[in-house]
Amino acid sequence: MADRKPNKLIQESSPYLLQHAYNPVNWYPWGEEALQLARQQNKPILVSIGYAACHWCHVMERQSFENEQVATLMNSHFVCIKVDREERPDVDAIYMDAVQTMGIQGGWPLNVFLNPEAKPFYGGTYFPPKQWMQLLQTIAEAYQQNQQELDETAEELASHLRLSDLEKYRLAPGSIELSESEFKQLYQHLSKRFDREYGGLAPAPKFAMPTTYLFLLRYYNHTHDETALAQINLTLRQMAYGGIYDQIGGGFARYSVDARWLVPHFEKMLYDNAQLITLYSEAYQVTKDPLFRQVVYETVRFVERELMSEQNGFYSSLDADTEGMEGKYYTFTKDELHRILKDEEPLFSKYYNATASGNFEHGRNILHRQLSNEVFARENELKPEVLQEMIVGWKKTLLKAREKRLKPALDDKMLCSWNALMLKALADAYYVFGEKRFLDLALRNADFLFEELREGDKLCHTYKNGKATIDGFLEDYALLISALIRLYEVTFNETWLHHARRFAAYTLSHFYDPEEKLFFFTDKDSEKLIARKKELLDNVIPSSNAVMAVNLHLLGLYFDDAKYQEIANAMLQAVKSLLLKEPSHLSHWAILYHNLLTPTAEVAIVGKQVPKMREELSSFYLPNMVLMGSDHKSSLPLLSDKLPVDGKTTIYVCYNKTCQLPVTTPGEALKQLKGWQQESKFPAL
């Protein structure tokens, strides 16, 4: 590699693209230069899409893109473009949709063949070298001999890609009415996929999908259905006990390849860990399970230690592989454990189920638990506090030993949307636990985003090497607005709420489609691709349209703006028929359904003890509420006329612009909130 000339990717900042900068393939980044070259030379385009932490992307690079013979074939017949899907989710969405339309299961690496007009005619995912070379030869010959036929195929596919999701799923607007029976139907459909032995949704592989369990928490809160809570507890405990959770350093891997959450795909993504901090924080509010608190604290420490930049932005991910072996950094042989822990190794190995033969490749052990601390202490005749002290020591010792190993590669680009998820997670964790460090981290990150990724009310998607690039996508705006609303609720600094409103106004003028009453994924002023998509379904990140709809509902309440609430209602109406059929793919829409099923509580705290009163109120799980507070005159409509009663800090609980009698303790406010919830189970639209 040392004597190779770099290709065009050497000018890029994405770690994934830079990984390929010395391939013998003449890679171009996505852009006009490559597209124009294809048109000038009338060559088909190969677009290869992946991301830095993708295991099979690395495998295909080693086997094919590093191979001179393969590269010669690619360079002779194609204009080759490399795309980081995390930088360009818009490009990825179009060509993933194309491959799935061909009847091929999607995944990464994603390899798609296009005509010079960037319209796809064939594609797939990972190909072994021999098969890849045969495919390249076949497509090159077909393009030379049957270009017109391939162009016709590409045109048909492009027409399909231009269909809106409402057309694709044949969605007629749903009924404007919401009902308890429909709400329960959402749960019934979702529950058909429950793995009732190990938690999560069957079958394996299992992704965490936090938004599913955030909905289930709301469903349980609304219905008191104990089976829903049991599934939440089972899932969150099994994940926290499993190999998907880093038992030594905290934080979660991307997914589990098996049903028991034991063997993960070891890459760690910022977006998973952010959403899981939010989920475990909310679950702690409901259950007060100390395991959930521990997971939150350890995961925040992991993110701060390994994914936080000096500028207070958060990096994207850590790779799964080190030294060409997946999971080597995180796993241990029994001999390694004995050398590190000495006399304590047998008890450690019993606690974390490590064996001489191992449960992973090369005799290595993925550390995991099967018993609670209480049961393990009892079975091993230990005092719980002694066991707890030993566990803390084990983790400290092994983390120190692990730090000496070659570390997984870091994807050090910072994405606005993923940072926004982490910003909200920190605010959520602070709201629940009152840990000042969480709020400090959140405020520092918010300042970073506003200083480095914002120009007025416009956002950039990615930041690296002191430079923000790529116009913001809907996910950037939607997730940042959501985080800013939460940041307001934990600081009562109205600046954050006004920023959220300005970003919402920008999305309505640059992303909104008034005909379908949904938002496009791309800004109207950004690069024009062969299709302009809308994101309806949740993926590992919740649907940007669903997040935006929840935002508009909440902002409509904060600012008494009926237009925002009307749009949120219309968005739910547009997708409701699909939601009722496929709730596992639209669980963030189900959260909006929950918020609109009964009127959202508007809770205002006024007076000198506002922070203390908010802290007391936040120990309760109140998922359908907007919370505001001030000890001075406020510009917010719901606060502008509220005054303390008899000089005491006062709480006003309001619904549908009607306030109940002011009270001066969180307990009295809680009675009003719980009482109204029981009385008001009727459609709100």
Q: Is the pLDDT of residue 222 over 70?
A: yes
CA distance 136 to 117: 19
Sign of the CA dihedral 119, 121, 126, 132? Answer: negative
Q: Is 627 exposed, middle or buried (0-12, 13-18, 19+ CB in 10 A)?
A: buried
Q: 470: Cβ–Cβ under 8 A, 6 or more apart, which residues?
A: 87, 88, 460, 461, 462
What average pLDDT score do residues 436-446 get? 98
Length of the chain: 685
**C-alpha span between 297 and 432 (Å, rounded):** 12
Work out whether strand 458-464 and strand 414-415 pair parallel, antiparallel, or are unpaired.
Answer: antiparallel
Convert the pLDDT of each residue in 134-147 to its tens digit: 999 999 999 999 99
Which carries the bigger pLDDT value, residue 462 or residue 638? 462
Contact by Cβ (8 Å): 313, 448: yes
Residues sharing a CB contact under 8 Å with residue 542, sequence separation 6 or more, in sequence order: 211, 587, 588
Taking the C-alpha atoms of residue 538 and residue 650, their distance in angstroms, rounded to an integer, is: 39
Q: What is the pLDDT of residue 682?
A: 42
Report the C-alpha gap between 556 and 562 in whole angstroms.
6
Cα-to-chain-centroid distance, residue 538: 9
Beta bridge partners of 245: 252
**CA quadruple 639, 641, 642, 644: dihedral sign:** positive
**What pLDDT was estimated at residue 678?**
58
Strands 255-256, 268-269: pairing kind? unpaired
Which overall architecture, per CATH, does domain 197-327+411-597 show?
Alpha/alpha barrel (1.50)
Q: Kindly give, in sequence order, each residue whose CB lies less than 8 Å from that of residue 419, ignoring residues fewer than 6 positions away.
A: 270, 313, 314, 445, 448, 449, 453
Burial class for 607, CB neighbours closer than 10 Å (0-12, 13-18, 19+): buried
User: Do 597 and 575 meet the contact criterion of CB atoms below 8 Å apart?
Assistant: no
Question: 228-232 long-range CB contacts below 8 Å, 24 or more apart?
Answer: 228/187, 228/191, 229/286, 229/287, 231/191, 231/194, 231/196, 231/199, 232/283, 232/286
Total-model pTM: 0.96
pLDDT above 90 for 338: yes
220 pLDDT exceeds 70? yes
Q: What is the pLDDT of residue 175?
A: 73
Residue 290 has pLDDT above 80, yes or no: yes
At residue 676, the pLDDT reads: 64
- 135 three-state secondary structure: helix
Per-domain residue ranges of the chain: 8-162, 197-327+411-597, 334-404, 601-679
Confidence of residue 414 (pLDDT cuts 50, 70, 90): very high
**pLDDT at residue 171 in the model:** 79
Residue pLDDT, tens place only, 605-655? 999 999 999 999 999 999 999 999 999 888 899 898 899 999 999 999 999
Res 51 pLDDT > 80: yes
pLDDT value at 684 more than 50: no
What percent of the chain has pLDDT above 90?
Answer: 91
Tell me the per-residue pLDDT of 53-75, one tens digit each, with 9 for 90 and over.
888 999 999 999 999 999 999 99
Residue 680 has pLDDT above 70, yes or no: no
User: What is each CA distance from 289 to 28, 283, 462, in whole angstroms?
Assistant: 51, 8, 37
Q: Are strands 321-322 and 325-326 parallel, antiparallel or unpaired?
A: antiparallel
In angstroms, what CA-CA distances link 343 with 337, 365, 394, 399? 10, 19, 12, 18
The SS3 of residue 48 is strand
Q: What is the pLDDT of residue 685?
A: 37
Percentage of the chain with pLDDT > 70? Answer: 98
Q: Do domains 8-162 and 197-327+411-597 have the same CATH topology?
A: no
CATH class of the region 8-162: alpha beta
Mean pLDDT of the 34-39 span: 97
* Whether 381 contacts 368, CB under 8 Å: no
**Contact (Cβ atoms closer than 8 angstroms) between residue 627 and residue 614:** yes
Mean pLDDT of 139-168: 92
The per-residue pLDDT for 452 is 98
- Per-residue confidence band for 683, with pLDDT thresholds at 50, 70 and 90: very low
Q: Report residue 314 as tokens.
A: 């958060």
